[in-house]
């Protein structure tokens, strides 16, 4: 399995289970904040990650 097909498979899983993806991003960001601090930057990165998965339904962005 190539990286492209792995990415496609993960994206399809993300679309089907978007609530779980967002929960995972939240858990990961909480762990990063506890370990590294930088709460504002971690929160911004988490929101960008969530936005990326939310926008996959509308196709590529320009």
Cα distance between residue 39 and residue 55, in whole Å:
24
Contact 49, 22 (CB under 8 A): no
Tokens of 33: 């904040």
Cα distance between residue 32 and residue 39, in whole Å:
8
Answer yes or no: is pLDDT of 60 > 60: no
Residue 45 in 3-state DSSP?
helix
- Residue 62's pLDDT band, with cuts at 50, 70 and 90, is very low
Which residue carries 């993806």 as its tokens? 21
Answer yes or no: is pLDDT of 17 > 50: yes
pLDDT per residue over 18-39, tens digit each?
888 899 999 999 999 999 999 9
């Amino acid at each position: 399995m190539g990286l492209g097909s792995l990415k496609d498979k993960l994206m399809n899983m993300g679309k089907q289970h978007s609530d779980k993806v967002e929960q995972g991003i939240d858990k990961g960001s909480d762990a990063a904040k506890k370990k590294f601090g930088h709460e504002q930057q971690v929160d911004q990165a988490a929101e960008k990650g969530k936005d990326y998965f939310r926008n996959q339904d509308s196709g590529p962005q320009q």
